[in-house]
Copies of this chain bind each other. A is one copy, B any other.
């Protein structure tokens, strides 16, 4: 028979993602993950020497997806506001259509797993956002706040919008909420 590509590792990560968002890190046993992934318990430990290792691997993987999605379609042309809006939109659309990943990041970041160091380290991965904000402050398009503060408000603002959408009845217009949210953040940050 034609073998499906052997990707037990991926299956394990996917199972873990699903169960972690449903039951938390410690609430999910390695046995449950293995079962969900249709894999023996031993196989899990071939790929990830410890459970903690699995959690961290998953986190870095998901963060990679997130920061990749964030920078999509960020061509050079367009006003500063356009570019910021593009990132805003990218973040929110990624969160809405990758619900488990989105929730997992939130869970991980407010859990004791993550140290201040790790959090800062990962923030540095958001190159697009960092560069753009620095530029915006330099050119005076963003008012004179600490860059870190601007980034935090922007990033957490987009998370708030995703959560808002996920909690809403699906009847709500997601695009309207995305726009409203950006209006709030943009007017809050922009000069004028």
Give residues in A with beta carbon < 8 Å to B.
21-27, 103, 106-107, 109-113, 116, 119-120, 143, 145-146, 148-149, 152-153, 156-157, 159-160, 163-164, 167, 177, 180-181, 183-189
Chain B residue, CB-CB nearest to A155: B160
Give every chain B residue within 8 A of A23 (Cβ-Cβ).
112
Distance in angstroms between the alpha carbons of A156 and B116 in the assembled complex: 19
Distance in angstroms between the alpha carbons of A26 and B24 in the assembled complex: 8
One complex includes copies of this chain to the number of 2
Query: Which residue of the partner chain, among B27, B112, B181, contacts A153 with CB atoms under 8 Å?
Result: B181
Give every chain B residue within 8 A of A185 (Cβ-Cβ).
184, 188
Distance in angstroms between the alpha carbons of A110 and B103 in the assembled complex: 7
Asked if A184 and B180 sit within 8 Å, CB to CB, the answer is no
Give every chain B residue within 8 A of A187 (Cβ-Cβ).
187-188
Asked if B160 and A152 sit within 8 Å, CB to CB, the answer is yes
Query: Which residue of the partner chain, among B116, B167, B177, contacts A116 with CB atoms under 8 Å?
Result: B167
Distance in angstroms between the alpha carbons of A120 and B168 in the assembled complex: 11
Chain B residue, CB-CB nearest to A185: B188
A sample of 26 cross-chain residue pairs with beta-carbon separation below 8 angstroms, ordered by A number, consists of A21-B112, A23-B112, A24-B111, A25-B26, A26-B26, A27-B112, A107-B111, A107-B112, A119-B167, A120-B167, A143-B183, A145-B184, A146-B177, A146-B180, A148-B164, A149-B164, A149-B180, A149-B181, A152-B163, A153-B160, A156-B157, A157-B157, A183-B188, A184-B185, A184-B188, A187-B188
Give every chain B residue within 8 A of A27 (Cβ-Cβ).
25-26, 112
Query: How far does the Cβ of A123 sit from chain B's closest Cβ, in whole Å?
Result: 10
Asked if B164 and A160 sit within 8 Å, CB to CB, the answer is no
Asked if B152 and A164 sit within 8 Å, CB to CB, the answer is yes
Give every chain B residue within 8 A of A149 (Cβ-Cβ).
164, 177, 180-181
Distance in angstroms between the alpha carbons of A156 and B154 in the assembled complex: 11
